[in-house]
Amino acid sequence: MPELPEVEYARKLLARFLIRTHITKVSYPDADGLSKRFMNCTPNAFADGIINRKIIDIKRHGKYLWFEMADKQSSTPIFHFGMSGGFRIKSAPDVTYLKELQHVKMKAKNEIDGQCESFVYDNELDADLVWPPRFTRIRFLTSTGHDVCYTDLRKFGRFHLVESNSPRTCLPLSKLGFDPYLEMPKFSDFKDLIGSYRPASIELKALLLDQTFCAGIGNWIADEILYQSHFHPRKRLNTLNDEQLKLLHKNIDYVIRTAVDAGGSHKFPPEWLFHFRWTNKRETQDFNKLKIQFDTVGGRTSAYVPLRQMLSDDEQQKVNVRLAARDAKRIIKKKMNKSTEDGHESNDDQENEKSIVSISAKVSTKKRSKQKMIETDSEEEDIPLSPPLKKKSSASPTSVSNRPQRTCKQKNINYCV
């Protein structure tokens, strides 16, 4: 998922090409599949809120990005990249290729276009790449000749059109906490925020993922902050002393600024956990050859190093008790679901048996009535209504009952050999 560093990089990229320009055209290559991602507007209304308006700045808070317009029209377009969103820009003739993005382009040329990196296409050096790129959801054309595409492989991005020139005062931005890159609070203010946070016993991983506390931190950044701080993901907030709070405050600022200033994950410090965690939950080792384990904390897969991020004996015992209680609840719930399913199956079996009995009773009744009718016909045939006829040859038709006959339409059946 694009987190604060990726969204900040996209903001800088868009600011370089879109400031002091007008968007002249907006198109949706996949309008049907994208319509549900417009939260409080329609795709046409979102396009009308952008076209022919001068962009004076590109703003960001947390994982949200928006265009600041020059006119007095009270509508602001806001973007959230979801799980795999990003911007691709096809360069105009006066734009040169950025060498620091070469590794990203190599990934694109290997058909990994669903990644969240935002970057520039060069007409000469990237002639072998298809334009517009794969998974393009929104396409913008600008007055300066730039072609901008918003791409999103998984289509979890969200788009808002806020009726205000101050979007920070409106939802969804008004509910966000501080941005650690733009407005990292001083330690005294940070300590006050921690003191007023509820619940105070929340696990640190869940705290860092809470966007109402700190906007922009996602899964891998939270794991990196805890790794640098030597804190276990399940450590409780109310167990931290002042020195530990200072360490947490320091590493939030350190990880965020280092990631943003690097401009790409290939420039992250080599000892970071980031480089070793992407193993699809398979156990591996960090830079110091210590084992990395994975656990689900705060609803997300967390990577941590037990020998580096240790809990005290009391904390570990409490964690074990909580995990045992959680596993017991899961087992009970699983058994209840299974018993419910078995009950449904037994009810279905009983209903099937009843239906079979009723069908067999109907069949037997039909057989008895049919047998009775046959006996009645045979009795009627025994009554001599006229002088007996001479026995005819076998070629003559057989005797027909005087019982009224019903005409039946025979269904034609085609047999295929």
What are the strands, taking DSSP E only, across 192-234?
Answer: none
d(Cα 115, Cα 198) in Å, to the nearest integer?
35
Pairing of strands 158-162, 54-61: unpaired
> What is the per-residue pLDDT for 282?
85
> What is the per-residue pLDDT for 359?
58
Helix and strand element counts for the chain (H, E): 9, 12
Pairing of strands 21-27, 300-304: unpaired
Pairing of strands 76-80, 300-304: unpaired
Contact (CB, 8 A) for 226 and 233: yes
Pairing of strands 64-69, 76-80: antiparallel
Q: How many CA atoms lie less than 13 Å away from 121 in the CB half-sphere?
A: 20
Q: Which helix (H) or strand (E) holds 228?
A: helix 219-229
Cα 275–Cα 14–Cα 219 angle in degrees, nearest 5? 30
Please identify which residue in the block is written with the tokens 């991005």: 157
Q: How far is residue 403 from each of residues 43, 49, 397, 408, measured CA to CA in Å?
A: 74, 84, 17, 15
Question: Helix or strand or coil: residue 90?
Answer: strand
Q: In order along the chain (417 residues), what is the average pLDDT of each group of 10 residues?
A: 91 92 92 86 92 95 95 90 90 42 47 49 59 90 92 92 92 96 96 95 96 96 97 96 97 96 87 92 91 93 95 91 88 84 63 60 55 48 47 47 46 40
Question: Helix or strand or coil: residue 117?
Answer: coil
Looking at residue 56, its amino acid is I
d(Cα 366, Cα 233) in Å, to the nearest integer?
73
For 17-48, give the DSSP string.
Answer: HHTTEEEEEEE-TTHHHHGGGBSSS-HHHHHH
d(Cα 254, Cα 180) in Å, to the nearest integer?
10
d(Cα 107, Cα 114) in Å, to the nearest integer?
10
Structure tokens, 356: 């079979």
> What is the per-residue pLDDT for 365?
58
Domains of the chain: 4-175 (3.20.190.10), 187-311 (1.10.8.50)
This prediction has a pTM of: 0.74
> What is the per-residue pLDDT for 148?
93
d(Cα 259, Cα 186) in Å, to the nearest integer?
20
d(Cα 254, Cα 257) in Å, to the nearest integer?
5
For 370-410, give the DSSP string.
Answer: HHHHHHHHHHHHHS--SPPPPPPPTTSPPP--SSPPPP-PP
